[in-house]
Structure 1
Amino acid sequence: MYPFFRLAKTIVKSSLDFKKGDKLDFYDTSEYRFTANVNDIDNFLEMNNGRIFTLFDLGRTDFAIRSGLGAKLIKNRWGLVVAGSTIQYRKRIRAFDQVVMKTRICAVDERWFYVEQTMWVKDKCTCHALLRTAVTDFKSGKALPTKKVLDSLGYVNIHLPPDEWVQAWIDADKLRPYPSE
């Protein structure tokens, strides 16, 4: 089940942090802390890989709110979408582990925001994800140009090209055929 309670808690906490001045700049890294709950754990007694991806939503929510994007989403009737992702798992997350999730924008092109997310337990990285994301218009459902989104936040002339490994993923993903049946 989707962690609606955690999402509500994240929205409230991040909004209060934003109002208190704990804001994020576009180039900052968000840190979101949580405890791995029993309902996050699978039959192998570690955090389920699908749950990790779901909890990454909370880190992106925190980043969006504290960067000011959250208010723009509501005002302009915009939404967020994930259009692609890749992840590496390195260490187990067990029940009651204290987890630090880090979220940052690692690259931007005309259409996509590339988001890098990691989870850490005891200063060790447990997993590392890269996501291709966009801001969408609710009415049309189409992705907005990143320039329009950045302009609404007061950022002009943002130049954040992808690192080599990010570009390699972008290029490889373009070669991937999409099933037609």
Structure 2
Amino acid sequence: MNLIVRLLFLLLTSSRRSRLHVLDTCVTPFRVWLNDLDVLMHMNNGRYFTILDLARVDLMMRSGLWRQLKAQGWYPVVTLETMRFHRSLELNDRYNVETRVIGWDEKHIFLEQGFVRDGVQVALAIVRARFLKRSGGVVTTAELMQLSDVTQDSPALPEWVARWSEADGGMTFQ
């Protein structure tokens, strides 16, 4: 239930926060709630991934992409993600999730999402996603970039991210 509350709050506040381009860094504020904690009294590892979902929604809402995706009948799916934890988040800690697109290939969008508390990175995730059509089939990155008014080429992905993605065999939803 708390994630529904967070999602509703995010949907209400996104429209009042600054507009972004889809390639801008989106900073989404959060706080650690009691039901985010595990038995060791720090934020549960699985909760980090759920919070990432909300931060990606914030980027899509604030960039206007969400509305465009809905109109096209397209939706995002995560196909691969990894996270490195540096520090713990504890009850009532305020933190931001900083989300930015770091590149793309013909099939996927790659995002970096960092958890930052008091200017210090707590955890860092890399997420590989693609978009599907509700009518069936996949959205090419070229179609997505055209919808987003992105005309530039992808920045070079960090070498380890490219290897990580390739090691997965590039498996995708069809």
CA shift in 2, pair 1:95/1:13, >3 Å? same
For 1:161 and 1:143, how far apart are their aligned partners in 2? 23
Could you say which residue in structure 1 is the equivalent of 2:148?
153
Q: Deviations over 1:22-53 (max 9, x none)?
A: 22123311000111000100100000000110
Q: Please give the TM-score of this superposition, normalised by the length of structure 2.
A: 0.91
Could you say which residue in structure 1 is the equivalent of 2:138?
143
Q: Please give the TM-score of this superposition, normalised by the length of structure 1.
A: 0.88
2:22 and 2:60 in contact (8 A); partners too: no
For 1:38 and 1:158, how far apart are their aligned partners in 2? 43
1:10 maps to a residue whose letter is L
1:2 and 1:54 in contact (8 A); partners too: no
2:138 maps to a residue whose letter is A
2:22 and 2:59 in contact (8 A); partners too: no
1:109 and 1:161 in contact (8 A); partners too: no
Flag structure 2 segments of 5+ consecutive residues without an equivalent.
Answer: none
Aligned length: 171
1:14 maps to a residue whose letter is S
Decide which of 27, 36, 39 is 1:43's aligned counterpart: 39
Q: How does 1:3-18 map to 2 (within 5 A)?
A: 3-17=3-17
Percent pairwise identity = 28
Decide which of 45, 54, 59 is 1:58's aligned counterpart: 54
> Bigger shift: 52-61 or 149-158?
149-158
For 2:62 and 2:88, how far apart are their aligned partners in 1? 29
2:81 maps to a residue whose letter is S
For 1:11 and 1:150, how far apart are their aligned partners in 2? 24
SS at match of 1:161: coil
1:5 maps to a residue whose letter is V
Shift of 1:164: 1.6
Confirm or deny that 1:126 pairs with 2:122.
yes
Structure 1 ranges of 4+ moved more than 6 A? none
Flag structure 1 segments of 5+ consecutive residues without an equivalent.
Answer: none
For 1:7 and 1:158, how far apart are their aligned partners in 2? 32
